[in-house]
């Protein structure tokens, strides 16, 4: 269970910061966050948040009673063999048909769910070193395409009443991250400028930004973002005309 005493960090874009502080967290635009699947990511380590931040970090707390399923490499490996026999290799290899492997009327037991989550992310960590961190052709492409099916796994996690999925396996540098399915369990505390040196060895934040100041920052960033979109559209139109 989560405690309101702990502070978590969410790296975000400066144009979205004001909306988060005034309207709360929402599952909307996803610019980063793929390792545990698409969604809202938080971490207790400021050093991790800096990699996903565009200038701003939102400090937040969890409501008491928030339930997280943690990936920590402690699970019953016999259950993986049982799941393979019952549902086929797609479920334990996160194959292209993973989203169809578990019938809609079937719910995994809690122990099966824990074993499957731990096994899948342990296997993925090993495959990342094999195939690399960029999309490829052949088996590498199959590996990356398969991980788009994580929403099916998230559905099983939610059906057991969990609000998020966390990683304590420490197999990767950002393994302290938490993926939140239920952003309403998070309470924004403050928005702060986020700073880091070139090696990301020294990371620190500014004092909390006042809402009036934050609103001006987000408005300016949104205007710049809109201009960039318009310029891209103009460039695409010119390219189409030149090719036509």
Please tell me the distance from the alpha carbon of residue 156 to that of residue 23, in angstroms, as a whole number.
28
111-158 pLDDT tens trace: 999 899 888 888 776 666 555 555 556 655 655 566 666 777 888 888
* Structure confidence at residue 147 (pLDDT): 62
Mean pLDDT, rounded, for 39-55: 83
Rounded Cα–Cα distance for residues 15 and 222 (Å): 5
Q: Please tell me the predicted confidence (pLDDT) of residue 42.
A: 92
| For the ranges 57-61, 73-77, 110-114, the one whose mean pLDDT is highest | 57-61
Cα–Cα distances (Å) from 36 to 105, 120, 145, 151, 203, in that order, read 24, 10, 14, 10, 24
- Predicted local confidence at residue 60, as pLDDT: 96
Bigger pLDDT: 151 or 109?
109
CA-closest candidate to residue 69, choices 2, 170, 180, 165? 165
pLDDT value, residue 170? 61
Q: Are 188 and 25 in contact (CB under 8 A)?
A: yes
Position 243 confidence tier, pLDDT thresholds 50, 70, 90: low
Average pLDDT for 52-65: 90
Counting residues of the chain whose pLDDT is more than 70, the rounded percentage is 79
pLDDT in tens, 172-219: 555 578 999 899 999 999 999 988 887 767 888 999 999 999 999 999
Domain range annotation of the chain: 8-67+181-225, 70-162
Model pLDDT for residues 13-40, shown as the tens digit of each residue = 899 999 999 999 987 655 544 567 778 8
* Spatial separation of the C-alpha atoms in residues 57 and 206, rounded to whole Å: 10
């Amino acid at each position: 269970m989560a405690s309101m005493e702990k502070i978590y960090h969410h790296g975000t874009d400066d144009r979205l910061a004001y909306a988060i502080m005034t309207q709360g967290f929402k599952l909307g635009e996803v610019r980063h966050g793929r390792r545990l699947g698409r969604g809202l990511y938080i971490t207790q380590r400021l050093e991790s948040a800096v990699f996903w931040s565009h200038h701003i970090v939102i400090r937040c707390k969890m409501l008491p009673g928030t339930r997280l399923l943690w990936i920590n490499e402690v699970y019953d490996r016999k259950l993986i063999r049982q799941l393979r026999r019952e549902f086929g290799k797609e479920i334990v290899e996160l194959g292209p048909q993973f989203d169809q492997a578990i019938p809609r009327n079937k719910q995994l037991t809690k122990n099966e769910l824990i074993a499957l989550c731990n096994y899948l992310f342990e296997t993925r960590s090993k495959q990342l070193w094999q195939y690399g961190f960029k999309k490829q052709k052949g088996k590498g492409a199959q590996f990356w395409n398969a991980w788009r099916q994580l929403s099916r796994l998230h559905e099983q996690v939610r059906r057991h009443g969990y609000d998020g999925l966390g990683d304590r396996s420490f197999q990767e540098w950002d393994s302290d991250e938490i993926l939140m399915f239920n952003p309403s369990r998070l309470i924004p505390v403050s928005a702060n400028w986020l700073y880091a040196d070139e090696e990301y060895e020294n990371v620190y934040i500014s004092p909390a930004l006042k809402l009036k100041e934050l609103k001006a920052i987000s408005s300016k960033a949104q205007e710049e973002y809109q201009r960039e979109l318009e310029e891209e559209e103009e460039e695409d139109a010119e390219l189409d005309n030149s090719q036509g």
